[in-house]
Amino acid sequence: MNVIEINNLTKNYGNARGITDVSFTVEEGEIFGFIGPNGAGKSTTIRTLLSLIYPTSGSATIFGKDCIKYAPEIKKEIGYLPSEVFYYNNMKVIDLLKYSASFYKKDCTKRMIELAEIMNLDLNKKIEDLSLGNKKKVGIVQGLLHQPKLIILDEPTSGLDPLMQQKFFDLLEAENKKGATILFSSHILTEVQRLCDRVAIIKEGKIIKLEKISTLKENNYKKFKIQTTSGIDENFFNLSGVNNLNKKDNIISFLFRGNINTIMKKISDIEIANLWVEEPNLEEIFMHYYVKED
């Protein structure tokens, strides 16, 4: 069963870019990654799903029901963490969480306390005194306390320290094991790679790729930067799997996909002064997708 089904969703905002013809589905029980650079349309898509804004054309269903017509009903089973967390500043954390719980017709107190403990959240502080990371934790707890069937996360890790990120990911994996479907939006490829089963990649308002993470991992790109002691022939690294080759003085850089040993052997043939091997960032991967499409 599809938990989320998005059909040709388009949203225009006057001059500013919205989203164009976005379609994808999220199946029950999967963790679906939604990645793209800032401003690509991730939040726009999510806000449309939550009927905070209305689409120009196209439609979406959640749990098989139209996301606008049945908005209040489907939201009973949705937990949402916005990218930027803003709450009622004069409230204490506990007041906000109780307010949040009061919208669901069940007792969420136990789960609320549990989550706050896991996330190491002080319930008696005022919201306005919290750091960004702690506000994010409040967001996580308020989004999960009613044990939703669908969890929608928009850039959830910004502001969290690595330890908390780890705890948060464990929490998500546990929720997922219990049956929750998760839509995880992010611009950080590695965290999406770690958690998700499938990903949709969005750029400039359009979905440019829909892929299983396992496939993406096979396409495991590395970014090489090599400084040689003497100038070498540009064609030296002209092998299959090498992309975006760039040479500037004694520095050669390229993206490589394939058996890493092949390239290491090749490097050992030349005299090098320095070597960098890095994970390419999302932009570079995107650039690669464009190259492929051309």
Partner 1 sequence: MNVFIIEMKAHRKSLIIWCIGVIMMVGSSMAKYVGMSLSGGSMNEFMDSLPKSLQAIWGLGSLDLSTVIGYYGVIFFYLLLMATIHAVMLGANIISKEERDKTTEFLLAKPISRNAVITSKLMASIINIVIFNIVTLVSSILFVNQYGNGASVTAEILLLMAGMFILQLIFLFIGTAVAAVSNNVKIVTSLSTGILLITFMFSVIVDLSEKLEILKYFTPFKYYDAKNLLQDGHLDPVFLVLSIGIIVTLSIVTYLFYNKRDLNT
Judged by the rule CB under 8 A, the positions of this chain that interact with partner 1 are 43, 47, 50-54, 71-73, 75-76, 78, 80, 82, 84, 86-90, 99-100, 102-104, 142
Q: Which residue type occupies 149? A: K
**Residue 9 β-bridge partners:** 22
Type and span of the H or E element at 151: strand 150-154
* Residue 78: CB minimum distance to partner 1, A: 7
Nearer to partner 1, 16 or 163 (CB): 16
Backbone φ, ψ for residue 155 (5° rounding) = 45, 60
Nearest approach, Cβ of residue 255 and partner 1 (Å): 36
Q: Which of these, 227, 177, 217, lies nearest to 193 by C-alpha position?
A: 217
Residue among 180 and 216 whose Cβ is closer to partner 1: 180
* Smallest gap from residue 82 Cβ to partner 1 (A): 4
Instruction: Report CA 125 to chain centroid distance, whole Å.
Output: 29
Which CB atom, from 76 or from 225, has the smaller least distance to partner 1? 76
C-beta of 104: minimal distance to partner 1 in Å?
7
Residue whose CB is less far from partner 1, 67 or 255? 67
User: CB of residue 80 vs partner 1: minimum separation in angstroms?
Assistant: 4
Class of residue 24 by CB neighbours under 10 A (exposed 0-12, middle 13-18, buried 19+): buried
Give 36 or 82: the residue with its C-beta nearer to partner 1: 82
Return the DSSP state at 50. T
Other residues' Cβ atoms within 10 Å of the Cβ of residue 240: 8
Nearest distance, CB of residue 216 and partner 1, angstroms: 30
The Cα 267–Cα 229 span in angstroms is 12
Contacts of residue 116, Cβ cutoff 8 Å, sequence gap at least 6: 93, 97, 123, 141
CB nearer partner 1, residue 25 or residue 51: 51
